Amino acid sequence: MYTILSNERISEGIYLMTVEGQFQARMGQFYMLRAWNQAPVLSRPISICNMEKDCIQFLYKIAGEGTRLFALLRAGDSIQLEGPFGNGFPDVQGRTALVGGGIGIAPLLYTAKQLDNPDIYLGFRGQSYMTEAYEPYANELIVRVNGNLLYDLDMKKYDNVLVCGPLGMMKAAALMAEGLDTKVYVSFEKRMACGIGACYVCSVMNKNGNRKVCADGPVFLAEEVEWHAELSL
Protein backbone atom coordinates (compact mmCIF):
# COMPACT_ATOMS: atom_id res chain seq x y z
CA MET A 1 0.00 0.00 0.00
CA TYR A 2 1.22 3.44 -0.89
CA THR A 3 -0.02 6.86 0.05
CA ILE A 4 -1.39 9.35 -2.43
CA LEU A 5 0.17 12.78 -2.08
CA SER A 6 -2.13 14.47 -4.56
CA ASN A 7 -4.61 13.63 -7.28
CA GLU A 8 -5.40 16.68 -9.35
CA ARG A 9 -7.80 17.21 -12.19
CA ILE A 10 -5.73 18.93 -14.82
CA SER A 11 -8.17 18.95 -17.71
CA GLU A 12 -11.58 17.58 -18.68
CA GLY A 13 -11.46 13.93 -17.54
CA ILE A 14 -7.66 14.02 -17.13
CA TYR A 15 -5.99 13.55 -13.74
CA LEU A 16 -2.46 13.51 -12.38
CA MET A 17 -1.90 11.26 -9.37
CA THR A 18 1.23 11.55 -7.25
CA VAL A 19 2.10 8.60 -5.03
CA GLU A 20 4.69 8.69 -2.28
CA GLY A 21 7.57 6.25 -2.37
CA GLN A 22 10.92 5.45 -3.90
CA PHE A 23 10.51 3.62 -7.16
CA GLN A 24 12.89 2.22 -9.72
CA ALA A 25 11.63 1.71 -13.22
CA ARG A 26 12.52 2.17 -16.85
CA MET A 27 10.99 4.80 -19.09
CA GLY A 28 7.85 3.40 -20.74
CA GLN A 29 7.11 0.77 -18.10
CA PHE A 30 3.81 0.62 -16.22
CA TYR A 31 2.32 -0.35 -12.89
CA MET A 32 -0.89 -2.22 -12.08
CA LEU A 33 -2.94 0.12 -9.90
CA ARG A 34 -5.75 -0.83 -7.57
CA ALA A 35 -7.66 1.28 -5.08
CA TRP A 36 -10.47 -1.11 -4.17
CA ASN A 37 -10.95 -4.59 -2.77
CA GLN A 38 -13.10 -6.87 -4.94
CA ALA A 39 -14.80 -4.65 -7.48
CA PRO A 40 -13.85 -3.87 -10.16
CA VAL A 41 -12.22 -7.26 -10.47
CA LEU A 42 -9.19 -6.18 -12.48
CA SER A 43 -6.40 -3.80 -11.58
CA ARG A 44 -5.58 -1.05 -14.07
CA PRO A 45 -2.34 -0.80 -16.04
CA ILE A 46 -1.12 2.81 -15.94
CA SER A 47 2.16 3.95 -17.42
CA ILE A 48 4.76 5.91 -15.51
CA CYS A 49 4.39 9.58 -16.34
CA ASN A 50 7.10 10.86 -14.06
CA MET A 51 9.32 9.79 -11.20
CA GLU A 52 11.10 11.93 -8.64
CA LYS A 53 13.26 10.86 -5.74
CA ASP A 54 10.35 10.36 -3.36
CA CYS A 55 7.32 9.92 -5.58
CA ILE A 56 5.87 8.58 -8.80
CA GLN A 57 3.24 10.22 -10.99
CA PHE A 58 0.51 8.71 -13.13
CA LEU A 59 -1.35 10.74 -15.72
CA TYR A 60 -4.65 9.10 -16.59
CA LYS A 61 -7.89 9.70 -18.35
CA ILE A 62 -11.27 8.60 -17.05
CA ALA A 63 -12.15 5.84 -19.47
CA GLY A 64 -14.24 3.48 -17.36
CA GLU A 65 -15.11 2.37 -13.86
CA GLY A 66 -11.55 1.88 -12.60
CA THR A 67 -10.21 5.25 -13.66
CA ARG A 68 -13.43 6.88 -12.41
CA LEU A 69 -12.66 5.43 -8.98
CA PHE A 70 -9.07 6.63 -9.21
CA ALA A 71 -10.33 10.13 -9.86
CA LEU A 72 -12.24 10.09 -6.55
CA LEU A 73 -9.08 9.46 -4.52
CA ARG A 74 -7.72 12.24 -2.33
CA ALA A 75 -4.37 13.07 -0.76
CA GLY A 76 -3.77 10.68 2.13
CA ASP A 77 -5.75 7.82 0.58
CA SER A 78 -4.05 4.48 -0.05
CA ILE A 79 -3.40 2.75 -3.35
CA GLN A 80 -1.88 -0.58 -4.28
CA LEU A 81 0.87 -0.64 -6.88
CA GLU A 82 2.44 -3.73 -8.42
CA GLY A 83 5.28 -3.36 -10.85
CA PRO A 84 7.05 -1.99 -12.71
CA PHE A 85 6.05 -4.26 -15.58
CA GLY A 86 6.70 -4.31 -19.32
CA ASN A 87 9.79 -3.68 -21.39
CA GLY A 88 9.72 0.12 -21.58
CA PHE A 89 11.33 2.22 -24.28
CA PRO A 90 14.78 1.20 -25.52
CA ASP A 91 17.86 3.29 -24.81
CA VAL A 92 17.92 4.98 -28.18
CA GLN A 93 20.93 6.82 -29.57
CA GLY A 94 20.94 9.66 -32.06
CA ARG A 95 18.33 12.22 -33.05
CA THR A 96 15.09 11.31 -31.32
CA ALA A 97 11.50 12.51 -31.44
CA LEU A 98 8.79 11.68 -28.93
CA VAL A 99 5.25 11.77 -30.29
CA GLY A 100 2.22 11.65 -28.01
CA GLY A 101 -1.46 11.77 -28.87
CA GLY A 102 -3.99 12.61 -26.14
CA ILE A 103 -3.47 10.59 -22.98
CA GLY A 104 -0.68 8.87 -24.91
CA ILE A 105 1.55 11.72 -23.83
CA ALA A 106 1.67 10.12 -20.36
CA PRO A 107 4.73 7.84 -20.68
CA LEU A 108 6.70 10.44 -22.64
CA LEU A 109 7.53 12.82 -19.79
CA TYR A 110 9.75 10.45 -17.83
CA THR A 111 11.09 9.20 -21.16
CA ALA A 112 12.03 12.73 -22.19
CA LYS A 113 13.89 13.18 -18.93
CA GLN A 114 15.99 10.09 -19.64
CA LEU A 115 16.89 11.12 -23.17
CA ASP A 116 19.13 13.89 -24.37
CA ASN A 117 16.77 16.74 -25.26
CA PRO A 118 14.54 15.04 -27.81
CA ASP A 119 12.09 16.93 -29.97
CA ILE A 120 8.63 16.44 -28.45
CA TYR A 121 5.39 16.48 -30.41
CA LEU A 122 2.16 16.52 -28.42
CA GLY A 123 -1.28 16.39 -30.03
CA PHE A 124 -4.68 16.90 -28.44
CA ARG A 125 -8.36 17.07 -29.21
CA GLY A 126 -10.27 19.92 -27.60
CA GLN A 127 -7.61 21.32 -25.34
CA SER A 128 -3.99 20.66 -24.48
CA TYR A 129 -2.72 19.84 -20.99
CA MET A 130 0.52 19.23 -19.13
CA THR A 131 2.61 20.56 -22.01
CA GLU A 132 4.57 22.93 -19.74
CA ALA A 133 5.94 19.92 -17.87
CA TYR A 134 7.57 18.64 -21.07
CA GLU A 135 9.11 21.91 -22.10
CA PRO A 136 12.28 21.80 -19.96
CA TYR A 137 13.25 18.44 -21.45
CA ALA A 138 12.54 19.24 -25.08
CA ASN A 139 14.90 20.50 -27.69
CA GLU A 140 11.83 21.67 -29.51
CA LEU A 141 8.25 21.29 -28.25
CA ILE A 142 5.50 21.16 -30.86
CA VAL A 143 1.92 21.19 -29.61
CA ARG A 144 -1.06 20.80 -31.91
CA VAL A 145 -4.70 20.89 -30.90
CA ASN A 146 -7.41 19.47 -33.18
CA GLY A 147 -5.18 18.66 -36.10
CA ASN A 148 -2.98 15.92 -37.40
CA LEU A 149 0.17 16.07 -35.35
CA LEU A 150 2.01 13.88 -37.82
CA TYR A 151 1.86 16.68 -40.43
CA ASP A 152 4.36 18.49 -38.23
CA LEU A 153 6.74 15.55 -38.08
CA ASP A 154 9.52 15.15 -40.62
CA MET A 155 10.40 11.50 -40.06
CA LYS A 156 13.68 11.55 -41.90
CA LYS A 157 15.11 14.12 -39.52
CA TYR A 158 15.23 11.44 -36.83
CA ASP A 159 17.00 8.19 -36.08
CA ASN A 160 14.27 7.20 -33.63
CA VAL A 161 10.66 8.15 -33.14
CA LEU A 162 8.90 6.98 -29.99
CA VAL A 163 5.12 7.12 -30.31
CA CYS A 164 2.27 6.63 -27.87
CA GLY A 165 -1.24 7.51 -28.93
CA PRO A 166 -4.32 6.21 -30.72
CA LEU A 167 -3.81 3.08 -32.85
CA GLY A 168 -4.45 4.97 -36.08
CA MET A 169 -1.79 7.53 -35.21
CA MET A 170 0.76 4.87 -34.37
CA LYS A 171 0.05 3.02 -37.60
CA ALA A 172 0.35 6.23 -39.60
CA ALA A 173 3.74 6.88 -38.01
CA ALA A 174 4.78 3.36 -38.92
CA LEU A 175 3.77 3.93 -42.55
CA MET A 176 5.58 7.28 -42.73
CA ALA A 177 8.82 5.60 -41.72
CA GLU A 178 8.65 2.91 -44.39
CA GLY A 179 11.71 3.03 -46.60
CA LEU A 180 13.54 5.34 -44.19
CA ASP A 181 16.26 4.47 -41.72
CA THR A 182 14.15 5.94 -38.92
CA LYS A 183 13.19 3.41 -36.26
CA VAL A 184 9.67 3.89 -34.95
CA TYR A 185 8.77 2.44 -31.57
CA VAL A 186 5.13 2.36 -30.50
CA SER A 187 3.71 1.90 -27.02
CA PHE A 188 0.48 -0.09 -26.95
CA GLU A 189 -2.46 0.00 -24.63
CA LYS A 190 -4.64 -3.09 -24.19
CA ARG A 191 -7.10 -4.36 -21.63
CA MET A 192 -5.10 -6.56 -19.26
CA ALA A 193 -5.85 -9.04 -16.51
CA CYS A 194 -2.62 -10.19 -14.83
CA GLY A 195 -0.24 -7.55 -16.23
CA ILE A 196 2.72 -9.91 -15.91
CA GLY A 197 2.51 -12.22 -18.94
CA ALA A 198 0.61 -15.17 -17.51
CA CYS A 199 -2.91 -14.87 -18.87
CA TYR A 200 -2.52 -14.08 -22.59
CA VAL A 201 -5.47 -11.66 -22.81
CA CYS A 202 -3.51 -8.63 -24.07
CA SER A 203 -2.01 -10.14 -27.21
CA VAL A 204 -1.01 -8.05 -30.15
CA MET A 205 -0.28 -9.58 -33.55
CA ASN A 206 3.30 -9.24 -34.59
CA LYS A 207 5.09 -10.44 -37.74
CA ASN A 208 6.68 -13.16 -35.59
CA GLY A 209 3.43 -14.30 -33.95
CA ASN A 210 1.48 -13.16 -30.91
CA ARG A 211 3.14 -10.85 -28.42
CA LYS A 212 1.89 -9.92 -24.96
CA VAL A 213 1.52 -6.19 -24.51
CA CYS A 214 2.15 -6.49 -20.76
CA ALA A 215 5.33 -8.56 -20.83
CA ASP A 216 6.79 -8.42 -24.36
CA GLY A 217 5.62 -4.81 -24.72
CA PRO A 218 4.07 -2.35 -24.24
CA VAL A 219 6.76 -1.00 -26.59
CA PHE A 220 7.18 -2.65 -29.98
CA LEU A 221 9.14 -1.83 -33.09
CA ALA A 222 6.41 -0.45 -35.37
CA GLU A 223 7.62 -2.39 -38.42
CA GLU A 224 7.02 -5.68 -36.56
CA VAL A 225 3.37 -4.99 -35.74
CA GLU A 226 0.64 -6.52 -37.95
CA TRP A 227 -1.31 -3.28 -38.17
CA HIS A 228 -4.11 -4.61 -40.34
CA ALA A 229 -4.91 -7.21 -37.70
CA GLU A 230 -5.03 -4.60 -34.93
CA LEU A 231 -7.09 -2.05 -36.82
CA SER A 232 -9.62 -4.41 -38.40
CA LEU A 233 -10.84 -5.68 -35.05
Partner 1 sequence: MRNLACNVAGIPFNNPIVMASGTFGFGQEYAKLYDINKLGGISCKGLTLHPRKGNPGARVWETAGGMLNSVGLENPGIDAFLEDEMKFWETIEPVKIANLGGSNIEEYVLGALKITKDAEERRKQNQRAVDMIELNISCPNVKEGGMAFGVKTAVAREVIREVRQVTSLPLAVKLSPNAENIVDMAVMCEGEGAECVSLINTFSGMKIDIYQRRSVFHNMYAGLSGPSIKPIALRMVHQVAQQVTIPVMGMGGIASASDVIEFIMAGAEVVQVGTYNFMNLRAGEELLAGIRSFMELENIQSLDEIRGIIQ
Alpha helices (H) along the chain: 65-71, 108-114, 131-134, 167-176, 227-231
Least distance CB 158 / partner 1 (angstroms): 33
φ/ψ bin of 146: left (φ > 0), alpha (ψ from -120 to 50), beta (otherwise): left
Q: What are the beta bridge partners of residue 55?
A: 20, 52
- Residue 195, interface with partner 1 (CB under 8 A)? yes
From the list 40, 94, 136, 168, which residue makes contact with partner 1 (rule: CB under 8 A)?
40
- Residue 62, interface with partner 1 (CB under 8 A)? no
CB 200 within 8 A of CB 136: no
Q: What is the dihedral of CA 165, 170, 176, 178, to 10 degrees?
A: 150
3-state class (DSSP) for residue 230: helix
225: DSSP letter? B
**Nearer Cβ to partner 1, position 5 or 201?**
201
The pattern of x and - marking residues 9 through 38 that bind partner 1 according to CB under 8 A reads: -----------------------x-x---x
**Nearer Cβ to partner 1, position 180 or 199?**
199
The pattern of x and - marking residues 203 through 222 that bind partner 1 according to CB under 8 A reads: x-x---xx----x-------
Count of Cβ atoms closer than 10 Å to residue 70 Cβ: 22
Least distance CB 191 / partner 1 (angstroms): 5
Length of the chain: 233
Task: Give the range of 8-16, 119-127, 156-164, 195-203 binding partner 1 by CB under 8 A.
Answer: 195-203
- Residue 75, interface with partner 1 (CB under 8 A)? no
**Nearer Cβ to partner 1, position 136 or 200?**
200
From the list 20, 82, 152, 223, which residue makes contact with partner 1 (rule: CB under 8 A)?
82
From the list 5, 69, 73, 201, which residue makes contact with partner 1 (rule: CB under 8 A)?
201
Q: What are the beta bridge partners of residue 18?
A: 6, 57
Name the pairing type of β-strands 14-20 and 2-11: antiparallel
Q: State the residues that interact with partner 1 by CB under 8 A.
A: 32, 34, 38-43, 64-65, 82, 191-203, 205, 209-210, 215, 229, 233
